[in-house]
Chains A and B, each alone.
Chain A
Amino acid sequence: MSDITKQSLSELVKNIKDKKLSSEEVTKAFINRSEKSKELNAYITEDYSSALDKAKKFDQKPNLELKLPGIPMAVKDLFCTDSIRTTAGSKILNNFVPTYESTVTQNIWNEGAILLGKLNCDEFAMGSSNETSFFGNVQNPIDKNLVPGGSSGGSASAVAGQLTPITIGTDTGGSIRQPASFTGIVGLKPTYGSCSRYGIVAFASSLDQAGPMAQNVKDCALLQEVISTYDPKDSTSIDFKRNEYSKELTNNIKGKKIGIPKEYRVEGMPKEIEELWQKGIQYAKDCGAEIVDISLPHTSYALPTYYIVAPAEASSNLARYDGVKYGFRAKGENLTDMYEKTRSEGFGAEVQRRIMIGTYVLSSGYYDAYYLKAQKIRKLIKNDFDEAYKKVDAILTPSTPSSAFKIGEKKDDPVSMYLNDIFTVPVNLAGLPGISIPAGHDAKGYPLGLQIIGKAFDEQNILNIAYAMEEKINFKNKITDWWIK
């Protein structure tokens, strides 16, 4: 069967279940394409030979009842994988080999999936362009000179470039949705507490969530169904009734009320983004949804709030990298000197910057002015959404304020880089689910995404809206395989 890598997850699952394809054939196809795609730099660690072994083993006694039967997939290198190096894109974890498995990846293997390798990402998931990775930047399959977005840049590039049928990323401020938007794929950030954080390298614990990235909404729904489980090992994991998202998926969204927040019409936003948004509103109407104007008055405070809360939590989480128990260690004259040199040589510039911001806002005398203030404003931001959801079922916004930018373009200007996440960050601060779907192209032919934000635990509803709109949008990603020689 030709063009295996062009098939969606749902097609591959069906073909394996109908015995038209073996796991070995599918795994081989993705390995071959991944090997021809080194220029994208999507992988940090490849695990091809054991993937093939696992595929052959699966085929000997295939369990076709599983949800991901013999499906090969690569995952973001932020998930700890037992006996497979896990780096978080950092020099400080360059040689780290976990002795345990993250809950989310374990869920995937339990349903029959097979690990292809670990995907590149911004260092400790801190970045919006994948340029902070110790393992080099990743190229966007759309165009050689474009960033794939970040922090799940390797993941987005690998799905858009068909190096893996699906993947999982993590999203602290937009790290699934922004790269999904930049590469023309679908990415879901679930409700906080929906997917276990156990075994995920921590960045900002009150914001971090794992989520699926795929070529279409249905595949995303299936993967979400697999990874979202209650887990006693994560004290913030929430025990709620989870849907069988892919089975319950429907394009009937008649009468759903969709809110359009006026504050997302930000100054300096390109005309193309506004036009895309208007088109999205029309698509939603065509699907039978009712459009309601709403207000989220504290939107413009979300990014500054995020840049206090996230670095504060990061500075605390990253205190564990001290060169003693695992990871990189620099030589020092004494213990303190060893700590300071290890962290100075082991962390990249952006991570050091965020640790410093976090340390400063938590330090004696500044805590109330910064951290406490940010927590209070976070409450106001959440209240805005609570108020809006009295009137609407979901909210529609652009995913990003622009299409993908050029490699190097924003690297030296942290604030302009941070502005990328202006539409995605409020969702993390409020702990809500949000999905980005590809919805059109700009004049340069680069993909643009729309975001649908839901009520907490209402993943099914935003998946349904995304599913209905996807059908109307009928997006075709412009991938030319330029990197394949």
Chain B
Amino acid sequence: MVVCDIFKYHMSIDLKTIKHISKLSRISVDEQKAEKLAGDLNSIFKFIEKLNELKTENVVPLTSVAETTLKLRSDEIKSEDIRKQILKNSPQDNEDYFVVPKVIE
């Protein structure tokens, strides 16, 4: 029997891992939600596991389908005063800045 890497990984999506990913994702997760997510993610990773059938050591990864080099723009300053527009949708601001909960004690 061939033990494949991804299978080993996907089995490890337990509640502890879910908590870890939720912390990295900045999404709060309670116990009930964590259990549901663990079930969903395990079934999705079981599905993804199929990729391990393929040997890919010598394959160059595809990072972009557009086979062109990115264009460079000429170095021109195009600044406008758009402070108002930028702050327009902010949930809380004091006219000049975005306001967030206190960070420094």
Q: How far is the CA of A344 from the CA of B30 in the complex (A)?
A: 10
Contact among B9, B27, B60 with A369 in the assembled complex (CB-CB below 8 Å): B9
* With A307-B44, A322-B26, A344-B28: A335-B101 Cβ-Cβ less than 8 Å: yes
| Most interface-central of B29, B89, B98 (chain A CB within 10 A) | B89
Residues of A close to B26: CB separation below 8 A: 319, 322, 336, 339-340, 343
Number of B residues, CB within 8 Å of A: 53
Q: Which residue of B lies closest to A382 (CB)?
A: B62
The answer on a CB contact under 8 Å between A335 and B103 is yes
Residues of B close to A369: CB separation below 8 A: 5-6, 9
Q: How far is the CA of A338 from the CA of B102 in the complex (A)?
A: 11
B56 beta carbon closer than 8 Å to chain A: yes
For residue A137, give the distance in angstroms from its CB to the closest CB of chain B. Answer: 20
| Most interface-central of B18, B48, B98 (chain A CB within 10 A) | B48
* Total A-B Cβ pairs within 8 A: 168
A399 beta carbon closer than 8 Å to chain B: no
* With A327-B89, A340-B28, A353-B37: A301-B101 Cβ-Cβ less than 8 Å: no
A389 beta carbon closer than 8 Å to chain B: no
The answer on a CB contact under 8 Å between A347 and B27 is yes
Contact among A315, A326, A333, A431 with B66 in the assembled complex (CB-CB below 8 Å): A431
A196 beta carbon closer than 8 Å to chain B: no
Instruction: Give the contacts of B60-105 with A (CB-CB under 8 A).
Output: 60-66, 68, 70-71, 73, 82, 85-86, 88-92, 98, 100-103
A352 beta carbon closer than 8 Å to chain B: yes
The answer on a CB contact under 8 Å between B54 and A377 is yes
Residues of B close to A343: CB separation below 8 A: 25-28
Q: How far is the CA of A363 from the CA of B52 in the complex (A)?
A: 19
The answer on a CB contact under 8 Å between A379 and B61 is yes
Q: List 12 A-B contacts (CB under 8 A).
A: A97-B88, A99-B85, A327-B91, A335-B101, A336-B26, A343-B26, A359-B24, A360-B17, A373-B56, A375-B61, A414-B43, A415-B47
